[in-house]
Amino acid sequence: MGSPDFMREAIRLADEGMQGGRGGPFGCVIVRQGEIVGRGNNRVTSTNDPTAHAEVTAIRAACAQLKTFQLSDCELYTSCEPCPMCLSAIYWARIPTVFYGNTRGDAAAIGFDDDFIYQQIPLPLEKRAIAIRPLLRDEAQSTFQRWSAKSDKIRY
């Protein structure tokens, strides 16, 4: 169902960040048990960080406040359908429910073409726009083997 009040806060953060020159018109809140535990807006241009999308900044804020790397008992409200990077972060954070305002089509209409990345993901590596090539797998495997044998690892 979702809460209109939480979505309005995400939209307010989008507008505030955009008007304040922090980045694009995107905002997000993370809610746990009816309380906002993380807020974020796009800060890509103000921080020179291409990963500083609203959802990522809100996830970082919520995880810091709750002192956890999993938000499995939270909901995420975002002013726009998440891009592939943010969607991946949402999955990694284990957030089970996402509510969004604008669609990725709406974002494309104003110059944010996340759909290009969505189209790239299912392509075989050799057909993607970015060259992705294996290198030194045998050497890299040793670290994975040590991780596999590590008795005190924290799984995530």
For the stretch 32-59, pLDDT in tens is: 999 999 999 999 999 999 999 999 999 9
Alpha helices in 94-136 (DSSP H): 104-109, 115-120
Where do the DSSP E strands lie in the chain? Answer: 27-32, 35-41, 74-80, 97-102
- The one-letter code for the residue type at 128 is R
Chain centroid to Cα 112, Å, comes to 15
- 55 carries an active-site annotation: yes
Q: Give Cβ neighbours of residue 5 (< 8 Å, ≥ 6 apart).
A: none
Active-site annotation holder among 9, 35, 55, 126:
55
pTM confidence score? 0.94
Task: Provide the pLDDT for residue 1.
Answer: 85
